[in-house]
Amino acid sequence: EEAGLTDALVLLFTSIFAVTLVSKIPGGSPVLGFLLGGAMIGPYTTGLIGHVEGAKVLAEFGVVFLLFNIGLELSLERLQSMAKYIFGMGSAQMLMSTLVGATIACACGLAVPPAVVIGMGLAFSSTAVALQVLQDRGETGSRHGRATFSVLLFQDLTVVLVFMLVPLLAGPDSGSITAICGSLAKAIVKTVAAIGVIMVSGRAILRPIYRRIANLGKAEVLTATTLFVALGTSLLTQSLGLSMALGAFLAGLLLAETEFHLQVESDIAPFRGLLLGLFFMTVGMQIDPSVLMSNSFNIIVMAFGLLVGKLGVMAVCGPLFGLPLLASLRSGVYVAPGGEFAFVTFGLAASAGLLTMDVVNQINLAVVLTMALTPLLANLGSKLKDVLKQDDGVVSLQAKEGENDDLSGHVIVAGYGRVGRIIGDLLNEQLIPFVALDISADNVNAGRSNDMPVYFGDAGAETVLHAVGAAKASCAVVTLDTAESNYRVVYALQKHYPDVKVYVRAKDVANGLLLEKAGAKAVVPETLEPSLQLAAAVLGEMDMSNEDISIAVDNFRRTHIQDLKQLQQNSGGGLGYG
């Protein structure tokens, strides 16, 4: 017990020290700090941690909660809209990466079976590292962020296939195409059946259970239920030969459809942050300086070849499925490093006699180095937009046909000025997909410099709306500067895409009534809310309590809405206040 407490204190102190130190470096990422901290206290350096295997078991839950959280922020509808990327680009990345890796391994003198295993293991990427760095940089909702997530999700789906193939390649049937295809078919059926059962049963029982527990009014019981659902589903998928991360993602996806997802997300946040940091530290503990120094040339060449090879694969795969070259390369810097499943794959291969431990140790070190480089590669990726910048004409800023086919249920922001930018930032923080339109090249360039999906175009033109996927959008926010422009956009959306709900900023009540008649679902007079906020600040200076200020402002707002309703009744309109 005392040793376990000592290990916990060492881990906490090292994480504080290392993350703080790395954060002071320009572009330094907390992920890199955790990795370096783990290397400092691992068994191959100072040896301050005595129970590394126990820490690894606990650290796996960090990845579980990360994927659970990602599932909470998605929906089945959004997942279906990304099917082309998940199953198309994801499968292409796995197959091409395996082929490239196996070919290079064969060229280095290995037989075909171990070469294929190396190719499959190196095709995996680190879901935990890539998604955490994407979140730290605020790029999860970007085009390359969605593509990265799609590839990583497909890799999690293929874990069971790879783990079944490794012992098969070591057995007497390694040369039999029939046996290999049969095993692949069994693995695919097993995966599809497991996911289907979990999704159907989860949809039927989770919502009623959470409603009953919520009615108890006990926050601790709700938190315990969330932990049980996340960890239980993860262990269930693991027992079926799938990854724990996939089970956690499915559980999050199911809870995302309930009214409890925001509370659930809040409940798991502390567990996710601490345990994910522990996971990164256990990865860093696998760095053996003696092996690294004695085989430094081989390891560095393998790490460099892994990064270049997988980056090249993404540069080919992305455009094949409609992803621009720049977005493909930026996604590639997250996919290129190796992943934690490589360690398991090579461990199985060593147990089966396909690979020697000397080779496995060198490859594992190369994988760890690439994982540690992920934050730095992300910084490099953000600079690619300057290197690959197209001409400054407006043509390069316009939405291309098919460029937004992966979007569904997204938001269209018409106008990317001060108001539109704030709305876009809020949507991006909540991982809600959106596209923005503006006829100012300066506004578009400003948005793109921050990796926002902003396009040059007239939101009142049907061809432009079609190019940004208006047919599959859930709603539109119109925040243009002039009343005439707002009216034109609302009219165009109502005429060509009547199912899209339109929310619009109006200059005054009279303008709001006209916009409502044109088809707007809700209109917000632009003078009302700023005036109420200024009034609240003044009331605060008058020594009113926050509670009294809130009551006064809410009462005034309700009175104002009643005035609006009376006005719209007199005018025959149906103004809705958003």
The CATH number of the domain holding residue 158 is 1.20.1530.20
Query: Which residues, other chains included, contact 335 with Cβ-Cβ below 8 Å and sequence gap of 6+?
Result: 93, 125, 130, 148, 151, 152, 310, 311, 314
Number of domains in the chain: 1
DSSP labels, 443-464: HHHHHHHTT--EEES-TTSHHH
> What does the alpha-carbon distance between residue 384 and residue 390 come to, in Å, rounded to a whole number?
11
Of 247, 271, 252, 227, nearest in space to 72 by CA: 252
Q: How confident is the model at residue 527 (pLDDT cuts 50, 70, 90)?
A: low
> What does the alpha-carbon distance between residue 305 and residue 293 come to, in Å, rounded to a whole number?
19
What is the model's pLDDT at position 118?
Answer: 94
Residue 394 placed within a domain: no
Q: How confident is the model at residue 493 (pLDDT cuts 50, 70, 90)?
A: very high
In whole angstroms, how far apart are CA 131 and each of 125, 136, 271, 370?
Answer: 11, 9, 17, 15
Residue 12 pLDDT greater than 90, yes or no: no
Residue 431 placed within a domain: no
State pLDDT tens for residues 81-128.
778 888 899 999 999 999 999 999 999 888 888 999 999 999 999 888
What is the model's pLDDT at position 402?
Answer: 66
Residue 497 placed within a domain: no
Neighbour-count burial for 304-320, b at 16+ CB within 10 Å, e otherwise: eebbebbbbbbeebbee
- The residue segments making up the domain with residue 10 are 2-384
What is the model's pLDDT at position 431?
Answer: 67
Of 44, 49, 32, 60, nearest in space to 278 by CA: 60
Indicate the range of 24-33, 95-104, 441-450 predicted with least confidence: 24-33
Winning range, highest mean pLDDT, from 196-210, 399-413, 546-560:
196-210
> What does the alpha-carbon distance between residue 218 and residue 214 come to, in Å, rounded to a whole number?
7
Of 452, 448, 408, nearest in space to 427 by CA: 452
Helices 143-157 and 127-136, axial angle in degrees (round to 10): 160
Residue 565 pLDDT greater than 70, yes or no: no
Of 41, 18, 43, nearest in space to 31 by CA: 18
Indicate the range of 412-416, 446-450, 527-531 predicted with least confidence: 527-531
Strand 475-478 and strand 434-438: pairing?
unpaired
Residue 536 placed within a domain: no
- Kindly state the tokens that stand for 487: 């009216």
> What does the alpha-carbon distance between residue 177 and residue 199 come to, in Å, rounded to a whole number?
33
What is the model's pLDDT at position 576?
Answer: 46
Q: Scanning the structure block, which residue is given the tokens 């053996």?
A: 288
Q: How confident is the model at residue 336 (pLDDT cuts 50, 70, 90)?
A: very high
Mean pLDDT (whole number) for 211-230: 86
* Model confidence, pTM: 0.71
What is the model's pLDDT at position 4?
Answer: 65
> What does the alpha-carbon distance between residue 24 and residue 137 come to, in Å, rounded to a whole number?
16
Residue 336 CA, chain-centre distance (Å), reads 16
Residue 93 exposure: Cα atoms within 13 Å on the Cβ side? 38
What is the model's pLDDT at position 566?
Answer: 56
Residue 568 pLDDT greater than 80, yes or no: no
Residue 193 pLDDT greater than 50, yes or no: yes
Task: Compute the mean pLDDT over every residue in the chain, rounded to the nearest whole number.
Answer: 82
262 DSSP 8-state letter: H
What is the model's pLDDT at position 285?
Answer: 85
State pLDDT tens for residues 386-437.
676 655 556 667 777 666 766 778 899 999 988 888 888 888 776 678 899 9
Residue 95 placed within a domain: yes
Mean pLDDT (whole number) for 302-311: 95
In whole angstroms, how far apart are CA 471 and each of 284, 454, 570?
Answer: 47, 18, 35
Residue 439 placed within a domain: no
Helix (H, G, I), strand (E, B) or coil at 413: strand
Greater model confidence, 298 or 184? 298
CB-based burial of residue 556 (10 Å sphere; 0-12 exposed, 13-18 middle, 19+ buried)? Answer: middle
Indicate the range of 145-159, 237-251, 365-379, 563-577 predicted with least confidence: 563-577
Query: Which residues, other chains included, contact 436 with Cβ-Cβ below 8 Å and sequence gap of 6+?
Result: 412, 413, 414, 415, 416, 420, 424, 447, 452, 453, 454, 455
Winning range, highest mean pLDDT, from 108-117, 182-191, 547-556:
108-117
Residue 360 CA, chain-centre distance (Å), reads 30
Residue 39 CA, chain-centre distance (Å), reads 27
End-to-end, the C-alpha distance of the chain in Å comes to 57
Residue 226 placed within a domain: yes
405 DSSP 8-state letter: T
Residue 216 pLDDT greater than 50, yes or no: yes
- Kindly state the tokens that stand for 244: 């724990």
Instruction: Dump strand ranges (E) for 474-557.
Output: 475-478, 501-506, 522-525
- Kindly state the tokens that stand for 448: 């793109």
